[in-house]
Amino acid sequence: MEETSQSHGHGQAEAADLEQGLTGHLLEYHQREAWADEGGRQRPRVGRVPPHVRSEDGGEAYTPKYVSIGPIHHANGTLRELSHGLKVAYLHALIARRTPDPIDDVAVLAALIGYKAGVAAMEDRARAFYKEHVELAPEAFVDMLVLDGCFILEHMLNLATGYEDPLLHRTHWAPSQLHSDLIRFENQVPFFVLAELLALSPLCRDPDLEACRMGERRDFLRSIGVHCLLRKDDEELKTLPTSDGIHHLLHLYSLSLTEARLRRPAGHAGWGASAWRALWKLPIVTLTPVAYLLCSGGADDDKDQEEEEAAVKLPNIPSATDVQRVGIKFKRAPRKPDGGFLDVRLEDGDTLVIPMVNIEQFTAPQLQNLIALEQATPELPDDCSCYAFFMDNLVANPADVALLESEGILKSNLGSHKAVVTYFNKLCQGNKLEVEGNYLRSVFEALMERNRNPMYAWIRTLRKKYFSSPWGIIAMVVTLFVFASTVLQTYISIVQYYFTNNDTDY
């Protein structure tokens, strides 16, 4: 009886805890929504990448290696040990901003109080920016936003003025790793926090900034953000949204890549090159019936091989080696300083132009984080997801990697061609990739149509069967010679027979 009473009391306690927890969750949600205006609700912009995506590489691509930004990796002791001193130094540098007259302790503390007051006024909005509940207390949360936000601002201002801070450049890897960390999806702070901190910063003390400041400070924030990410001025990207419409640095990077792609004119060959291509295709079209007769008998022989190749690549788009077999040539597009790896196009129907992509320690995570941003932000165009889908199909086996490397399109230090194939395969796993309506749809359709075209299929089989070795080429030439001789002899025999009969009649 006593055990039953204890069990009943324990159950009541659990029910009370559950009710209290549910009440807390409901009130927290209500408070997160209360600050939003009547025009709509702000949805969370940053959160952890889902476990089914992180499990592909243990989440290494989404985890910062040098500096943590925001609350998700704030508790990482290793990152704190590496970069906390640099953050504090950058906070002080932003307050002082290299003024010729040293400032005293009172001025430093007054500036810090101003920063904290400005960010504290938007604390609820900043907490709602993150998908997961932020465990930090209000003061600790505000301190983190001030420290991380001022660190980012000072770093961007240094880049805008061409100043290489000795603290950051003590090692060769630190600047590159910092740049890589700043565009990781889980390592972001709201852009509106950066805008507020910039508005509170005494930039007028630094004469070097006057040369690179343009327009209002919020537009100036976008300008230094583009320069930080792409090492270029945003004059060519005037249609980018203002700072009010930018969520964070990774969002700005994604918008800049898409805008840079849209501004590039489509390239095409001149009239001379087009005429030469047409002249080159004339004998191919003429020999198509002959190719069909010669290759029709070998269709069954290649069936097993084609099925084996289909098993190692996605069927939607032919791989690089298959594309080459049907007469498509590869050309490396000039890589612009804005990082425009998205500029893939098909020129004149038979030249696939692809910018060079370098897959190494610092650049490999960029595409994964851009895809994570697109998956978490449905209103964004899925350009990077589409590019990953394209490359995943194009790079189906090590032979494809070798082909693209020989054309100067791929460059990698991952150690092997198979590792490159694995890298592109992982980009698409666990993510929803839409083909319809994307910017590469016309390229997809053209490549698939070319691969299905019977004429190019016959030519592909002809090349596989007869032009894979010098002896095959010799055999093909002899066969064509015999065929042409037979046709010529038949024609001569018919003409001789015709004239012989006419002479007999007379």
* pLDDT per position as a tens digit, 291-312: 555 544 444 444 444 444 433 3
Greater confidence, 34 or 357? 357
> How confident is the model at residue 148, as a pLDDT?
97
Query: HSE-up of 14 (CA within 13 Å, CB side)?
Result: 6
pLDDT tops 50 at residue 106: yes
Same domain, 259 and 404: no
163 occurs within a structural domain: yes
Flag the least confident range among 73-77, 90-94, 350-354.
Answer: 350-354
Number of domains comprising the chain: 4
**Phi and psi based region of residue 242 (left: phi greater than 0; alpha: psi -120 to 50; beta: remaining):** beta
Of 394, 374, 392, nearest in space to 383 by CA? 374
233 occurs within a structural domain: yes
Same domain, 66 and 27: no
pLDDT tops 60 at residue 461: yes
Tell me what the mean pLDDT of segment 111-121 comes to.
Answer: 95
Same domain, 419 and 498: no
Same domain, 148 and 194: yes
Neighbours of 175 (CB within 10 A): 17
pLDDT tops 70 at residue 275: no
295 occurs within a structural domain: no
> How confident is the model at residue 44, as a pLDDT?
84
In sequence order, the 6+-apart residues with CB closer than 8 A to the CB of 325 are 460, 463, 464
183 occurs within a structural domain: yes
Fill in the amino acid letter for 424: F
> How confident is the model at residue 31, as a pLDDT?
66
pLDDT tops 60 at residue 45: yes
In sequence order, the 6+-apart residues with CB closer than 8 A to the CB of 287 are none
Query: HSE-up of 439 (CA within 13 Å, CB side)?
Result: 19
Same domain, 120 and 225: yes
| Structure token pair of residue 470 | 């010098």
Confidence of residue 473 (pLDDT cuts 50, 70, 90): low
pLDDT tops 80 at residue 355: yes
Segment 382-392, tens digit of pLDDT:
889 889 889 98
Query: HSE-up of 346 (CA within 13 Å, CB side)?
Result: 17
Confidence of residue 215 (pLDDT cuts 50, 70, 90): very low
What is the percent of the chain where pLDDT is above 90?
A: 31
Same domain, 423 and 316: yes
pLDDT tops 80 at residue 131: yes
46 occurs within a structural domain: no
108 occurs within a structural domain: yes
Tell me what the mean pLDDT of segment 95-115 comes to.
Answer: 85
Tell me what the mean pLDDT of segment 361-368 comes to.
Answer: 85
Same domain, 440 and 369: yes
Same domain, 66 and 8: no
> How confident is the model at residue 324, as a pLDDT?
85
Q: Are strands 351-355 and 345-347 parallel, antiparallel or unpaired?
A: antiparallel
Greater confidence, 33 or 292? 33
Distances (CA, A) of 145 to 41, 226, 360, 401, 425: 22, 21, 31, 43, 36
Same domain, 149 and 237: yes
Same domain, 80 and 201: yes
User: Which residues form the domain of 479?
Assistant: 469-505
42 occurs within a structural domain: no
Residue 205 and residue 284: Cα distance in Å, rounded? Answer: 71
Query: CB–CB of 354/330 below 8 Å?
Result: yes
16 occurs within a structural domain: yes
Q: Burial-class residue 51 by CB neighbours within 10 Å (0-12, 13-18, 19+).
A: exposed
Greater confidence, 207 or 73? 73
Confidence of residue 438 (pLDDT cuts 50, 70, 90): confident
Same domain, 227 and 310: no
Confidence of residue 212 (pLDDT cuts 50, 70, 90): low
What is the percent of the chain where pLDDT is above 70?
A: 71
Residue 207 and residue 334: Cα distance in Å, rounded? Answer: 36
Same domain, 402 and 479: no
